């Protein structure tokens, strides 16, 4: 799942409206189906009226993705950098799939090289900040409007039964600093709040969590991820290469720890196998280095402060173990 913009060789300047619209409509359909399935489970035959319960999820997740991508888009327009409209990436579910958000994210592509570090920084930071604000808004709304216990009991009537979930796979969403802090600040101690193994039944909490997760993934300071653009424009090529290499090493380490956790049951709650796959994608497909921007002008103080805010967002949103799938409840 990725939201990013990529720089590179010039593309045709002619705007293609049909493909972005088609992909958006497909993603609306797949996220609505995914939202319905998070609540009521997979069904080979779904009535149109059943899909209504998937709308809070789909509309929220499309809102978060759109805010992120149009942050990039409008920053590009401001700097007169030709770019594509956002391409939303649908993802279709199938029976037996335990983890499906209905989308692989979204992306835009610039149609000409970015000439200045100022433009690179503004375009790179605008997406994560806009997506973070959208995710935060959805998440706070979710915390303030948690349904009562009857909502969960309608989904799992046997929730309090001694054998609830025995011999079944567990899907557990991981905590991050911001999610756990908001829970501590907003949720009263005497109020029922679902455990992280049930969060996916709550569309606004699920989408808010997902938005933070995707924001942090894109703020990893590697290559042409948003975090890579930010670090390159703030600190230059040499420091970017160092930070990019260290970040990849850490991702590989977290992935290896995840493998060890999975097979040796160490329960350190640090690693996730998925980080190993993400490190491979970054290293071999997106590449760890950043294309050169031939501009030696330093960013002004205002942009540097915003850049450090972006780094803080990454720290608050990063989830070392975003998912645990396996074992029994």
Q: Judging by beta carbons within 10 Å of its beta carbon (0-12, 13-18, 19+), is residue 211 exposed, middle or buried? A: buried
pLDDT of residue 96: 64
Question: Could you tell me the mean pLDDT of each successive run of 10 residues in the chain, 329 residues long?
Answer: 52 73 97 92 72 95 98 96 95 80 93 94 98 98 95 91 78 94 94 93 97 96 95 96 96 92 69 92 91 92 98 96 73
User: What whole-number distance in Å separates Cα of residue 97 and Cα of residue 326?
Assistant: 13
User: What whole-number distance in Å separates Cα of residue 320 and Cα of residue 260?
Assistant: 15
User: What whole-number distance in Å separates Cα of residue 320 and Cα of residue 322?
Assistant: 6
In this structure, the dihedral spanned by the alpha carbons of residues 272, 252, 209 and 86, taken in order and rounded to 10 degrees, is -140
pTM of the complete model beyond 0.85: yes
pLDDT of residue 9: 46
For residue 149, which of 160, 163, 162, 141 has the smallest C-alpha distance?
160
Paired tokens of 118: 């100022």
- In angstroms, what is the C-alpha Rg of the chain? 20
User: What whole-number distance in Å separates Cα of residue 193 and Cα of residue 191?
Assistant: 6
pLDDT of residue 325: 79
pLDDT of residue 265: 61
pLDDT of residue 81: 95
**Token pair 């025995």 in the structure block, residue:** 166
**Token pair 């290293």 in the structure block, residue:** 283
Angle, in degrees to the nearest 10, between helices 203-218 and 55-78: 30
């Amino acid at each position: 799942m990725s939201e990013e913009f990529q720089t590179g060789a010039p593309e045709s300047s002619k705007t293609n409206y049909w493909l972005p619209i088609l992909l958006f409509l497909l993603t609306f359909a797949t996220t609505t189906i995914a939202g319905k399935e998070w609540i009521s489970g997979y069904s080979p035959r779904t009535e149109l009226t059943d899909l209504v319960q998937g709308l809070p999820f789909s509309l929220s997740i499309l809102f978060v993705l759109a805010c992120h991508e149009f942050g990039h888009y409008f920053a590009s327009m401001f700097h007169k950098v030709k770019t594509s409209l956002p391409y939303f990436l649908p993802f279709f579910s199938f029976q037996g799939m335990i983890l499906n958000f209905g989308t692989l994210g979204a992306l835009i592509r610039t149609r000409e090289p970015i000439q200045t570090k100022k433009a690179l920084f503004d375009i790179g930071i605008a997406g994560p900040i806009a997506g973070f604000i959208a995710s935060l808004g959805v998440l706070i709304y979710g915390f303030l409007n948690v349904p009562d216990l009857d909502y969960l009991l309608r989904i799992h009537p046997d929730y309090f039964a001694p054998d609830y979930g025995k011999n079944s796979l567990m899907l557990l969403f991981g905590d991050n600093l911001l999610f756990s802090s908001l829970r501590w600040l907003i949720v009263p101690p005497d109020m029922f709040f679902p455990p992280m193994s049930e969060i996916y039944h709550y569309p606004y909490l699920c989408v808010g969590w997902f938005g933070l997760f995707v924001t942090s993934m894109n703020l990893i300071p590697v290559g042409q991820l948003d975090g890579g653009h930010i670090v390159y424009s703030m600190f230059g090529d040499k420091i970017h290469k160092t930070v990019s290499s260290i970040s990849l090493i850490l991702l590989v380490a977290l992935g290896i720890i995840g493998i060890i956790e999975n097979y040796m049951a160490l329960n350190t709650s640090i690693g996730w196998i998925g980080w190993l796959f993400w490190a491979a994608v970054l290293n071999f497909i997106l590449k760890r280095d950043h294309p050169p921007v031939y501009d030696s002008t330093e960013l002004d103080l205002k942009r540097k402060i915003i850049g450090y805010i972006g780094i803080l967002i990454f720290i608050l949103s990063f989830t070392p173990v975003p998912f645990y799938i396996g074992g029994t409840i």
